Amino acid sequence: MPSNNRLMTFLYHEVCDNPEESGFVTKNSLQYTHTIAEFEEHLSAIAASETVVKDFNEKCDLDKISITFDDGGISALCSAEMLEKYGWRGHYFIATKYIGQKGFLSSADISDLRKRGHYIGSHSHSHPKSCRDLSFEALKYEWENSKKILEDILSEDVFTASIPNGQYSGRTLNVLKSSGYSHVFTSMPTVKPWNEKGLVMYGRFYPKRNTSRVKIEKLSRFEGVYFEYLLRKLKQTLKLKFKG
């Protein structure tokens, strides 16, 4: 069961000065690519908030912060080193189809990150645009295959998942549950974990490129959280309205 404490989870992707060197290089992904200097500013702002930084699953009787990274781009090696300077560890979600490809982590890199205390989870196998639209069989392939690949690399259970683009349905969650996952990260900006389909669900706040230090520090103090939630719900409503 989720605790009564709040969890501020930040979602990042690539941290590098040359966006074409790491991860997916698309118009959409580039807006979530942060320069090294900008990411350092964010870490400094998080530290200034004086909120404890821990992984989501570490016990803590206080509100806390978790820092996550999607995709599995090679820049994870840089962001991990930056986190370690603060004594923090990140949670890296890997799209396993791309392991070892240009711009992405290798199996050895993933193993090394885990040995250094960082956490590894699945970001599906092929990073589909929308898990919500996939068939039951396609979902099973995505999540079971990814889990097996990561467990073979790490020689330990992998029980966390991050849903690509935050798009999921009840079928998605049923497959995640039956595939052996227990904790699932979404893109809904909320600080209260919830239970759904037998899974513990987590929301995340996703800073874009050029997000200010001031905003990061405020969010780290749990200020403006409800506004971000309402803004996301409004965008979702408008998107569905115009799509229809």
pLDDT in tens, 5-19: 899 999 999 999 998
Contact criterion met (CB below 8 Å) for 75 and 28: no
Spatial separation of the C-alpha atoms in residues 165 and 28, rounded to whole Å: 10
pLDDT in tens, 24-75: 988 888 889 999 999 999 999 999 999 999 988 888 888 999 999 999 999 9
Average pLDDT, the chain: 92
Q: Which CATH number fits domain 7-243: 3.90.870.30, 3.40.50.2000, 3.30.1600.10, 3.20.20.370?
A: 3.20.20.370
Per-residue pLDDT of the chain (244 residues; tens, 9 = 90+): 455 789 999 999 999 999 889 989 888 888 899 999 999 999 999 999 999 999 888 888 889 999 999 999 999 999 999 999 999 999 999 999 999 999 999 999 999 999 999 999 999 999 998 888 899 999 999 999 999 999 999 999 999 999 998 889 999 999 999 999 999 999 999 999 999 999 999 999 999 999 999 999 999 999 988 888 787 777 666 665 665 5
Identify the pLDDT of residue 1. Answer: 40
Alpha helices (H) in the chain, listed in sequence order: 27-30, 36-49, 76-85, 107-115, 136-154, 170-178, 213-220, 225-243
Identify the pLDDT of residue 30. Answer: 87
Closest by Cα among 158, 156, 155 to 125: 158
Identify the pLDDT of residue 83. Answer: 98
Identify the pLDDT of residue 232. Answer: 72
Long-range contacts: 129-132, Cβ < 8 Å, 24+? 129/164, 129/165, 129/167, 130/164, 130/165, 130/167, 131/163, 131/164, 131/167, 131/168, 131/169, 131/172, 132/167, 132/168, 132/169, 132/172
